[in-house]
Structure 1
Amino acid sequence: MSTVTFRNVSKRYGAITALDDLDLEIGDGEFVSLLGPSGSGKSTTLNLLAGLISANSGTIHIGEREITHLPPEQRDLAMVFQNYALYPHMTVAENIAFPLEARKPRPDKDVISRSVERVAETLSIGNLLARYPKEISGGQQQRVALGRAMVRDPRVFLLDEPLSNLDARLRVRMRRDLKELHRQLGSTIVYVTHDQSEAMTLSDRVAVFAQGRLQQVAPPREIYDNPVNTFVANFVGDRETNFLDGVLEGDDYLTFHSGPVALKLGKRQLKNARQKVTLGVRPEAVAIASSATDGMRAEVILTELAGAELFVYLRLASGDEIGMRCDPREVSVATGETVNVRFDPRQIHLFDQESGQTLA
């Protein structure tokens, strides 16, 4: 079994806590992305698992075996770095074969050769084996780095932002290839990224980090549809979530008030008679109202056409600015125009104004 388990793991650098009391279990054969901004704790988590740094407290297991204090070479892991770290003086075949050549005892040459050919065929780089890294593209170098990890047949793969050096179009292609590769191998993969699109498209589950703490771990759809706090709601998604601070009022039928903005939300349970909340709604849940009485007045302050979608920035009567995502074939607005907008009540999130935690 290649289950990875962190139990109460913390890492400190003097007065700075890089990782605080992490509890996380990654299932056998699961693809889990560690997602967060710089300094959030995701890379610290990966480096602790790899054995590149040591924990101040807690334990780390792979299967039933504790590896907390084992050196990297005894953990049966393979790591693919951001810069690929290929040896420039070695051919592609020699780079892939290097982990096997370095083993003690070293396998027979025929065994190494067959292993290299098998991995190269899986990655569709069999025709590149005689070339040197400088003679192949960035995407091909990334495949070679993956091949060097795969040839070891490790229990767990660790990928540290392996697509960040590629151009945008190639990143999308490599995401698809990585997903297919995981399907073929069935290996446990721990993937570090700050790119939420990568995390959402590749992963079985996403673990979101901020300020050294794990915020939420769940399947991508769950993370997107039911964020546990305002940080997750705003960080996960290619556009910022719209937030409005206000007050919930009402006994059976709740209304959200924010200055002149009043939104009827329906029947919900209130903790207090007047509860201060933050309302969150994603841009795709904002739409042009069908009538003047069915929404809130807003001024168009900027539009961005991005191919198949139109992104519109609006200013509400309260002074708050929000974003709306829509189909440019169905919506046509101009800067300075006044429109009526509505929020999809099924996609409204309510958070406690002080803690930022969800009230769902």
Structure 2
Amino acid sequence: MIQDATMAETTSAHVAAQDAVAEFSGATKRFGEVLAADRINLRIRRGEFLSFLGPSGCGKTTALRMLAGFETPTEGSVLIDGHDVSAVPAHKRPVNMVFQHYALFPHMTVAQNVGYGLRQRRPRLSRSDIAQKVDKALATVRLEAFGERRIWELSGGQQQRVALARAIINEPQILLLDEPMAALDAKLRGEMQRELLELQRSLNITFVLVTHDQEEALSMSDRICIMGKGRIAQVGSPQELYDRPSNRYVADFVGKANIVAGQIAGRQGGMAQVVLGNGTKVIVHDLPADNRQHAEIAIRPEALSIAPQEAPLPEGTVALASRVTHRTFLGDRTEYLLVADGIGPLQVNAPRQAARALGEHDVGAQVHILWPVGTGLVLAADT
């Protein structure tokens, strides 16, 4: 299902340099008969925000733990600043990690938690130097007045900031984040995502996030590495992955996508004419460099629209006769599930403004799904 992927060469305005701070080179990890990571090849750019995204068991946490030094590759290597650190223990790497449950010491104050790593350094730092660094770290995460509090006196969001302060106080080259917002409620999670992104921008430290939350990855990352069955499916910017998924696995996992089968009738200039199951012909973007005739097309729900069957068709639009089976109002949009004759179920997301202009459609209504020319993408075959 998953295919090898080369790193997408995208640019980011706030990433000052394109040199690699870390690299996976054929990194493979086995736990007995279980292949947790399979020949991972990936260069992580200095100063970028990279996310590993995928479902449980896809290999993303194993990749993070190999980078942190908590796991040693069975084959291949992990490099930091061009040096092979595969056998270097975690405490000797220029890397710090924020865990999902923060791993804070409940018997210590906030300041003592933040300064814990500094107190382990040899040669020892003076108390005044540690205090100064702790104050600076707490100020960075806006907890200046909380140094003497105990951990149980803090909210979940404040505890996360303490964990971040403890991680950044050692000035790591790479900060690793293992689903650090999974325990927060939806509203607080959104606030912390914005704060974390601002913190990364201000520190210019490479952040590597592991998450199964696609919205979190899309909103925060410079690049996303989609994982599946221990392998990299695709790497790219959030927009690239959303607009140009390489195969069905990526299209299904990043956002929502209608997957429609058809036969390719012709190709020209990066576009393909595809005949759908009911004989309707559509023009879509053509991605694969192969000669397959059978194709799967991905089309996002917001790219389609709905109109009454008697309404005139906009120029360059194909109409699919359909019936509304479900209608879900979500405030800013309405989600429709429809059955298109000879094709099957399709989802259409109608923005609130468009729904007001065109009218709402009740369950059971006979309508047209409007498919604009050039909308949709032929997917490469999963391997």
TM-score exceeds 0.5: yes
2:101 to 79, 83, 87: 83
Mapping for residues 53-202 of structure 1, pairs under 5 Å: 53-202=71-220
Shift of 1:255: 3.8
Matched residue SS, 2:115: helix
Distance 1:55 1:78 in 2: 19
Contact 2:318 2:371 in 1 (8 A): no
The SS at the match of 1:18 is strand
- Residue equivalent to 2:368: 340
Deviation larger for 286-295 or 103-112: 286-295
| Partner residue, 1:325 | 349
Shift of 1:48: 0.6
Paired residues, what number?
A: 352
Q: Contact between 2:175 and 2:207, CA under 8 Å: does it hold in 1?
A: yes
Q: 1:31 to 1:270 in 2, by over 3 A?
A: closer
* Contact map agreement 1:254 1:265 (CA 8 A) in 2: yes
Q: How far apart are 1:280 and its partner, in Å?
A: 1.0
Partner-residue secondary structure (3-state), 2:354? coil
Q: Which residue of 2 aligns with 1:223?
A: 241
Residue 161 of structure 1 deviates from its aligned partner by 0.3
What is the CA-CA distance between 1:2 and the residue it aligns to?
6.8
Give 1:321's aligned amino acid.
Answer: P
Q: Which residue of 2 aligns with 1:307?
A: 331
**d(CA) in 2 for partners of 1:186 and 1:155?**
9
Structure 1 residue 104 displacement after superposition: 1.9
CA deviations 1:284-322 (Å, max 9, x no partner) are: 111125536940011100111111111111111125111
> Is the Cα–Cα contact under 8 Å of residues 2 and 155 in structure 1 kept in the other structure?
no
Q: Distance in 2 between matches of 1:251 and 1:118?
A: 60
Work out which of the residue numbers 20, 35, 52 in structure 1 matches 2:38.
Answer: 20
For residues 40-59 of structure 1, what are the structure 2 equivalents within 5 Å? 40-59=58-77
Name 2:9's counterpart in structure 1: none
Amino acid at match of 2:24: F
SS in 1 for 2:363: coil
Tell me the distance in 2 between the aligned counterparts of 1:90 and 1:212.
Answer: 38
Question: 2:312 is matched with which residue?
Answer: 291
Q: Identify which of 263, 271, 282 aligns with 1:247.
A: 263
Contact 1:281 1:343 in 2 (8 A): no
Cα distance in 1, alignment partners of residues 224 and 137 from structure 2: 28
Q: Secondary structure at the match of 1:346?
A: coil
> Structure 2 length normalisation: TM-score?
0.87
Match of 2:382 among 352, 356, 360: 356
Please identify, of 12-21 and 186-195, the stretch whose mean Cα deviation from structure 2 is larger: 12-21
Q: Deviation at 1:250?
A: 4.3
Could you tell which deviates more after superposition, 343-352 or 124-133? 343-352
More displaced 10-residue stretch of structure 1: 7-16 or 152-161? 7-16
In the superposition, relative to structure 1, how do residues 215 and 180 fare at CA in structure 2: closer, same or farther (>3 Å)? same
Query: What percentage of residue pairs aligned between the two structures are identical?
Result: 36
Note the C-alpha offset of 1:267.
9.5
Q: Which digits, 9 at most, give the CA deviation of each residue in 1:256-293, with x for residues without a partner?
A: 23331513317979965x81001110101111255369
For residues 166-205 of structure 1, the C-alpha deviation after alignment (integer angstroms, 9 at most, x for no partner) is 0000111111101100110000111100111111111111
Cα 1:5/1:88, change in 2 over 3 Å: same
SS in 2 for 1:58: strand
Structure 1 gap segments, 5+ residues each? none
Paired AA for residue 139 in structure 1:
G
The letter for the 2-side match of 1:76 is: P
Q: For CA contacts below 8 A with separation 6 or more, give which structure has more relative contact order.
A: 2
SS in 2 for 1:260: coil
CA distance in structure 1 between the aligned counterparts of 2:375 and 2:130, rounded to whole angstroms:
54
Distance 1:276 1:140, change over 3 A: same
